[in-house]
Structure 1
Amino acid sequence: MADGELAPAAFPQIGEGEMALYRLFLRRGRFTLDEAVRELGLTDEDATRSVEVLIDLHLLRTEPEEAGADTPPTYLPVPPSIAAAYRVAPVEADLRRQLAEAERARAQLLILEEVYSAGRPHAGAHRLDEILDLATVLDLIERLAVGCRTEVMTVQPGGPREPDQLEQAITRDLAMISRGVRMRTLYQHTARLHQPTQEYVARITAAGAEVRTRTDLSGRMLVFDREVAILPHRLSLDGAIVVREPSMVFYFCGLFDQSWSFADTFVPLRQWDNELDDVKQAVVRLLAEGMKDEMIARRLGMSLRTCRKHIAELLDGLGASSRFQAGYLARARPDLAGPQAQSVG
């Protein structure tokens, strides 16, 4: 806000006194303050304050014709929709002006992006940037998606994504695919049970994308054109680390390709079935390692409730009285234990 510029006045609160007074004016059409005091039994101070609030909100206006300077003003009620237009319009105009100024400032600052890149030590290829706010991260992803030429690789751990996130991503992803960009995405197996994720995957795979799933994924990652990698920030949940150093990006791409080769094609599921036996194996393995329910759920991308239900079914099926015992008994069950679980202990 510029020096000398006044901040928009705060909206006064409408209380019981203002409501009673406004109803009175609506019944009578027009009224003086003295009449309102007598009719409602208010004090002069309370009536004056309530009238000032209603006038400030443009819910009352004074009668234009006055008999004389000593004549008490007569008030007329104003429809709330009209009052809202008068009272809110200046605030909305101020917000639009501030947003326009913010966009102009952003555009001016982004002009210097190339200067910044060229002027840093080891300019261009050797870069590691830290972003701490979500809005800047999302803006960067949008810009990288628009400029993506050949390939995008995505790792999305944590089970199903939120429907609003999927809705925001679909337009951007279909635009990349339509330009001939190869899109590969890795989810965890639990995402196959999530209907919004099923619908999203159906749309992008129909357009040419590839989606696979694994039991466990190391962490969230986006890689554009094998040149820029976006990783989660260690301390900031809304932040990210942007990597442009070629050797580091090459390493991340190698990790993705290795995970991709061991992943399964995304197949929608309606309930836990035999196609998710590797999830059961993972639960047993983590139980045998002594991991808590909360950690297992987070590791495998499922809700805590689903995780505990799954554990209860495994305990019942194995005839085990404890989680550790379930892990021990499962090592003798090749159908549940799997090679990793059998090697535990």
Structure 2
Amino acid sequence: MDEHHELDEVAVATYEFALRTGSFGDEDVAGHLGVDVRLVAEARKTLQDMRLVASAGSGRAVVALDPEIAEAELVTPLELSIAQRRREISSIHQQLRVLSAMYRARAQPVAEDVPIRVLDDFEDVRREIDLARRRCTDERITLQPGGGRSAELLDQDLLQTLEMRERGIRIRTLYQHTAHASLATRAYVRQICEAGAEVRTAEELSERLIIYDRKLAFIPKERTGKEPPGAAIVTDPTIVAYLYRSFESVWQGSQTFDIGGTAEYHHAEDLRMSVIRLMAMGLKDEVIARRLGMSTRTCRRHISGIMGEVGATSRFQAGILLAKQGLGQDDESVTVS
């Protein structure tokens, strides 16, 4: 069977009818169930594909077959395929471990002596992350600033995250509130949370960060073009512990990622107040957008709406009005640029 079939209510009722009557035709079942004959034809096709019914002689009638025999016929090829894949995986491990030992004997001592390594090429970073993921035994934590991520990246990370969860690795990820607006991100979060991962959101996050087992941290370099940047790989215990504590501090004050269908609206008021607060601090549009994880265009749309609410004709006037109303003020002094 090349594809997985689902036994719906019509298929189950059709099989039950076949058991009771000995054989059946599509019209007989359709009349008995009170459904369209096309639904019965689809159900019969599903039952045939699953080896649960077979043609009775040369006529159009079919008879029910033993589900245990059908199960053996369907499952045995899959089990054989899985066993073959496992043998192939074992063979790959055995062959490459010999070479890996040779490579580590030459390269690893140099790397371990350096508490911070900076890799300029993103492909080198990706390979190091893949290695860290495979070696991870306890926990992976991630800071993902900005809004939603691309569907392509999420699809790739989904498989890796689910594989880690199968190994019992704890997964914790922090997004910004603006990630709720991404359908792809919400779908990804729903799937990994069903597998036991933990995902939360916060108003503002620093740069992206990944830490494996509280021992190895990846900090991206500043992006200077369209290409993905390199990264610093940190193994110094003091620095990694500091980064981990910083993550924990934000995690404790964050909110569980809401994967509901209208989740993008749940933080609308929080987002509005965040924009107001940063406006009142005198920050420019680009800075506000970066801190809240949204595009500059989206940020300016929020600012325009807020200016309309307070009756301001300029950003300067809006800042003064917001300051007078006490909106967005905190312990920091309010300035207007």
- TM-score bracket, normalised by the shorter chain, equals 0.5 to 0.7
- Quote the offset at 1:179 in angstroms: 1.2
Overall identity of the aligned pairs, in %: 38
- Quote the offset at 1:119 in angstroms: 4.7
Which residue identity does 2:334 align to in structure 1? Answer: V
| Residue in structure 2 matched with residue 228 of structure 1 by the alignment | 216
Report the Cα distance in structure 2 between the residues aligned to 1:172 and 1:108, rounded to whole angstroms. 24
Determine which of 129, 135, 141 is the counterpart of 2:117. Answer: 129
- Shift of the 141–265 alpha-carbon distance from structure 1 to 2, 3 Å rule, reads same
TM-score, scaled relative to structure 1: 0.62
* Residues 1:294 and 2:286 are matched in the alignment: yes
| Residue in structure 2 matched with residue 259 of structure 1 by the alignment | 250
Determine which of 157, 164, 172 is the counterpart of 1:184. Answer: 172
Which residue identity does 1:344 align to in structure 2? Answer: V
Q: Secondary structure of 1:226's match?
A: coil
* Residues 1:156 and 2:148 are matched in the alignment: no
Report the Cα distance in structure 2 between the residues aligned to 1:203 and 1:340, rounded to whole angstroms. 40
Report the Cα distance in structure 2 between the residues aligned to 1:309 and 1:230, rounded to whole angstroms. 34
- Shift of the 302–327 alpha-carbon distance from structure 1 to 2, 3 Å rule, reads same
| Residue in structure 2 matched with residue 17 of structure 1 by the alignment | none
Q: Secondary structure of 1:112's match?
A: helix
Q: 2:117, 2:233 within 8 Å by CA — same for their partners in 1?
A: yes
| Residue in structure 1 matched with residue 321 of structure 2 by the alignment | 329
Report the Cα distance in structure 1 between the residues aligned to 2:101 and 2:219, rounded to whole angstroms. 22
| Residue in structure 2 matched with residue 62 of structure 1 by the alignment | none
Q: Secondary structure of 1:344's match?
A: coil
Q: Deviations over 1:236-288 (max 9, x none)?
A: 65201000111110000000000101111111464764633332222122223
Q: Secondary structure of 1:111's match?
A: helix
Q: Secondary structure of 1:217's match?
A: coil
| Residue in structure 1 matched with residue 334 of structure 2 by the alignment | 344
Report the Cα distance in structure 1 between the residues aligned to 2:294 and 2:247, rounded to whole angstroms. 22
Q: 1:285, 1:344 within 8 Å by CA — same for their partners in 2?
A: no
Which residue identity does 2:214 align to in structure 1? Answer: R
- Quote the offset at 1:110 in angstroms: 7.7
- Quote the offset at 1:172 in angstroms: 0.3
CA-based RMSD:
2.6
Q: 2:178, 2:294 within 8 Å by CA — same for their partners in 1?
A: yes
Determine which of 264, 270, 277 is the counterpart of 1:285. Answer: 277
- Shift of the 171–216 alpha-carbon distance from structure 1 to 2, 3 Å rule, reads same
In structure 2, stretches of 5+ residues that fail to align are 1-94
In structure 1, stretches of 5+ residues that fail to align are 1-103
- Quote the offset at 1:321 in angstroms: 1.9
Counting matched residue pairs gives 236
Q: 2:165, 2:171 within 8 Å by CA — same for their partners in 1?
A: yes
